[in-house]
Structure 1
Amino acid sequence: MLPFSLRVVWFCLSFTGMMTCWAVMLSFVRAVESYWPLVYCVGCTIMHGMFCLGMIYKMEPFRMPRSFCIAQSITMGLGVFLMTGVSASFAIATTFAALKPKTWWEGGKGLMVWRRIYIYPLFVFPFLATVVQLGITLRFDSGVQRDDLHCDYSDPTCYAGIPWLVTIPCLYLSIKAILRILKTNKHLQRSRDPDLDVDIDTFTALPRRPKHVHMARAVSTSSSSPPANLQSISRQPSSPALTNATLTPRGFHMPFQPPALNLDTLHYSRSSHASDELDSPISSNFPRFANPPQVGTVSLDPDRITVESTAPPNEEWREILGASDTPDLDKASSLKWNEDGDKSESEYVKGDDGFDTEDNYSGTYPTRAAPRSLGTTSRKARRPLPTLTPAVYRIITFQLAFTIVQPLSSISTLIDVIRHKPPAPFGTQHIALLISAWGPVFIFSKWPDARRLYSLWLPWK
């Protein structure tokens, strides 16, 4: 005879496991946005509820009426069949997920979508198995009271192996899904060529310059002249028939390295006259003009353009060409250094010729084209490799654990059949009884999405 303390311990563990299973599974179905897995909780409640009702008779089958004993056997069997059907449906769901890796991006929300095929393991199998069990129990009067924690159909003993009819296919689907997932992961790793994942930015990196360092403008006055190296830089007009005094700037793409700074120019710019409007910013791409004489002409073509001027000695040459046209020349005649080295090239404004430039008076810097303009050299950034969602991992672990529980619950029965002895009062089937309630708690409670939800009901978690 089993001690009453053991019966009390099993009653407490069974009841708390049933309630905790509901809390965790409710969080799980909300996370995956599908509610049919709650059928497992229904089966768990039916089985453990009838088991706990045996406490009315102190969990001693000899004290239970025959009608209650038969009802307890049939009802607990129905709960086992329902949970077995849910495990089979999980195996089908994970098999579909393994065959369709694109669903791995959905974060598990599309994993438990309802499919008509689930009707057979969830409803058809439990109904047929219960009908067969009821017929055998009434025909062979197998609901015999024995020393146990509950009444159970024990004659014929082989009927206890009915869940194996579904457990074996579940085990096959689980192993097939795992092998398929491993094969898919290897294929995804091989398809990603590491040589193609290198940075396509093969140009010289942008130079880093302190924010307080700026290139000063080159200035010229009537009393002093700029250094000789600036006077020697000049360019002829691109066309002898130029009819506008405002020159149109041209953009160039020089992706290799920025031009070196001339220390003489910087020294001269800092020590020159305080006026900033004595000369325009000068780029090596555009012509240089000397200040006009006090009375004279500025000619771009001797036969076409002659601008008379009576400007005083300190008058700026751009006032002779026309004040209304000089802003365009000033704006496009220079490029600037990247003032902060951390600035991305994508922040540069599109220039007139389709190259990335940014107009400012801080200096001269040749920028490169955006990666998308490099033609076949650039490659569209790949999104990361798909990985199996935590929901699939948890479900595969659950169905494997449930598959292991079935042999565990049958070990004592198989030993009794081999030895030709009556069922033992306490065996592995009683351990499997508790695992069926606490299994989802141990497996799904570690899933972050479910933990955030069931923590509302279980503050001690």
Structure 2
Amino acid sequence: MLPFALKAVWFGLSASGTLSCWVVLIALARTINIWWLPLLYCSVVTALEGIFCLGMIYHMDPFQMPDAFRLAQIFVISFSALVLTGVALTFIWATTASVIWPESVNGSAKSTLSWRHVYFIPLLVIPTVFAVAQIVLVVTLDAYAPSDNFHADVTGHLWICLLGYAGMPMIESIPCFCLTVYAGMRVAR
């Protein structure tokens, strides 16, 4: 079992990191005059860290957490991680697309990062589909037994983790990597 002092330090770092995230990204939003992306990122980080920090009620001991809270932690952490991946994908797509197709933007940050309806796919559709699929499998296969950890997580049938933060971000990063390489080659020409 992990010592409580370590859990308390982790809690403090998580809470202070979340507050710092808000300060920095609000400053970024003011600078580039785009609010939707930084506020979405901060809100999702707050949900992610919030459900993690709420575990302090149970001394961050999954053995003391009720089943409903453990399931909520698994779902919110997975969904939040997938939405954060979607935010990164959206940012990468927007900035790289402005390099590949410069005629589609006027060169300003506001034009490059302006909202497009296609962003619903990485920000809402993909996270919802995979987080719901993961939680359905977790409940169906009873894969959420308590373990010695800071938070509740999938404990049985670990392949289920691949639908959440352990697999989908890697898979989603592959097209972004290819797009970035292509943009880099285009700039180098």
Give the Cα–Cα distance (whole angstroms) in 2 for the partners of residues 74 and 171 of structure 1: 27
Match of 1:182 in 2: 188
Q: Which moved more, 1:29-38 or 1:16-25?
A: 29-38
Q: Which runs of 5+ in 2 are unaligned?
A: 162-166
Deviation at 1:159? 2.6
Task: Provide closer, same or farther for how the CA distance between residues 13 and 177 of structure 1 changes in structure 2, counting only shifts above 3 A.
Answer: farther
Corresponding position: 1:49 with 2:50:
yes
1:7-26 alpha-carbon deviations (Å, 9 max, x no partner): 11111111111111112112
Match of 1:18 in 2: 18
Deviation at 1:175? 2.6
What residue identity is the alignment partner of 2:157?
P
1:177-204 alpha-carbon deviations (Å, 9 max, x no partner): 3333333xxxxxxxxxxxxxxxxxxxxx
Give the Cα–Cα distance (whole angstroms) in 1 for the partners of residues 188 and 93 of structure 2: 17
Map residues 183-262 of structure 1 onto 2, 5 A cutoff. 183=189
Give the Cα–Cα distance (whole angstroms) in 2 for the partners of residues 94 and 181 of structure 1: 13
Deviation at 1:78? 1.0
Give the Cα–Cα distance (whole angstroms) in 2 for the partners of residues 47 and 178 of structure 1: 33
What RMSD, in angstroms, separates the aligned Cα atoms of the two structures? 1.9
Equivalent pair of 1:42/1:79 in contact (CA under 8 Å): no
What residue identity is the alignment partner of 2:150?
L
Q: Which runs of 5+ in 1 are unaligned?
A: 184-461
Give the Cα–Cα distance (whole angstroms) in 1 for the partners of residues 168 and 9 of structure 2: 28
What residue identity is the alignment partner of 2:97?
F
Equivalent pair of 2:98/2:107 in contact (CA under 8 Å): no
Aligned residues: 183
Match of 2:32 in 1: 32
What residue identity is the alignment partner of 1:170?
C
Task: Provide closer, same or farther for how the CA distance between residues 9 and 177 of structure 1 changes in structure 2, counting only shifts above 3 A.
Answer: farther
Task: Provide closer, same or farther for how the CA distance between residues 158 and 177 of structure 1 changes in structure 2, counting only shifts above 3 A.
Answer: farther
- Structure with greater helix percent: 2
Give the Cα–Cα distance (whole angstroms) in 1 for the partners of residues 155 and 133 of structure 2: 14
Equivalent pair of 2:138/2:160 in contact (CA under 8 Å): no
Give the Cα–Cα distance (whole angstroms) in 1 for the partners of residues 87 and 141 of structure 2: 30
What residue identity is the alignment partner of 1:91?
I
Match of 1:313 in 2: none
Task: Provide closer, same or farther for how the CA distance between residues 31 and 100 of structure 1 changes in structure 2, counting only shifts above 3 A.
Answer: farther
Deviation at 1:154? 2.9
What residue identity is the alignment partner of 1:9?
V
Corresponding position: 1:119 with 2:125:
no
Give the Cα–Cα distance (whole angstroms) in 2 for the partners of residues 181 and 21 of structure 1: 31
Identity %: 36
Equivalent pair of 2:138/2:154 in contact (CA under 8 Å): yes
Give the Cα–Cα distance (whole angstroms) in 1 for the partners of residues 186 and 12 of structure 2: 41
Match of 1:152 in 2: 153
Q: Partner of 1:109: helix, strand, or coil? A: helix
Task: Provide closer, same or farther for how the CA distance between residues 99 and 44 of structure 1 changes in structure 2, counting only shifts above 3 A.
Answer: same
Structure with more relative contact order (C-alpha pairs < 8 Å, separation 6 or more): 2
Corresponding position: 1:86 with 2:87:
yes
Match of 2:171 in 1: 165
Map residues 350-429 of structure 1 onto 2, 5 A cutoff. none
Segments of 4+ moved more than 6 angstroms: 102-105
Match of 1:62 in 2: 63
TM-score for both structures, normalised by structure 2: 0.88
Q: Partner of 1:90: helix, strand, or coil? A: helix
Match of 1:381 in 2: none
Give the Cα–Cα distance (whole angstroms) in 2 for the partners of residues 6 and 176 of structure 1: 44
TM-score for both structures, normalised by structure 1: 0.38
